[in-house]
Amino acid sequence: MLKKNIESVPKDKVEMQGAKGLQVQWLFSPKDGVPNFSFRIFHIEESGTTPQHTHAWEHEVLFLEGEGEVFVNNQLYPFKAGDAFFIPGGEEHQIRAKSKGKFICLIPNSGC
């Protein structure tokens, strides 16, 4: 069993091309010996973005704070705190914040 408090997990700036105003906390990942999924919390600034990208693995996203849009396959879907999204592998996607926000993102360890 593992236990962490988010206050003890460092926030790392996301340095990928296309990322703007984005930090990540890796709560659980293969580095912790977790076998299947990685659990991340992202902090995004007002007008911040994740990179617009595609990859083979799925992921699940739960917005805890903020508002904005999720871009998936050339369509925009608004989000607010409490909204959850499932994004299948192979779909081009990006998160675009209208206000400061926070979201959880789960990915399989094959995506790390």
What is the rounded CA–CA span in Å between residue 93 and residue 52?
Answer: 6
CB 91 within 8 A of CB 99: no
pLDDT tens readout for residues 17-26? 999 999 999 9
**pTM of this prediction?**
0.94
pLDDT tens readout for residues 54-87? 999 999 999 999 999 999 999 999 999 999 999 9
Q: In the chain, where are the structural domains located?
A: 11-111
pLDDT tens readout for residues 85-112? 999 999 999 999 999 999 999 999 987 7
| Domain 11-111 annotated CATH 3.40.50.800 | no
What is the rounded CA–CA span in Å between residue 52 and residue 65?
Answer: 21
Say which DSSP state 51 is in: P
Half-sphere exposure of 39 (CA within 13 A, CB side): 12
Question: Taking all residues of the chain, what is their mean pLDDT, rounded to a whole number?
Answer: 96
Q: Check residue 103 and give its pLDDT.
A: 98
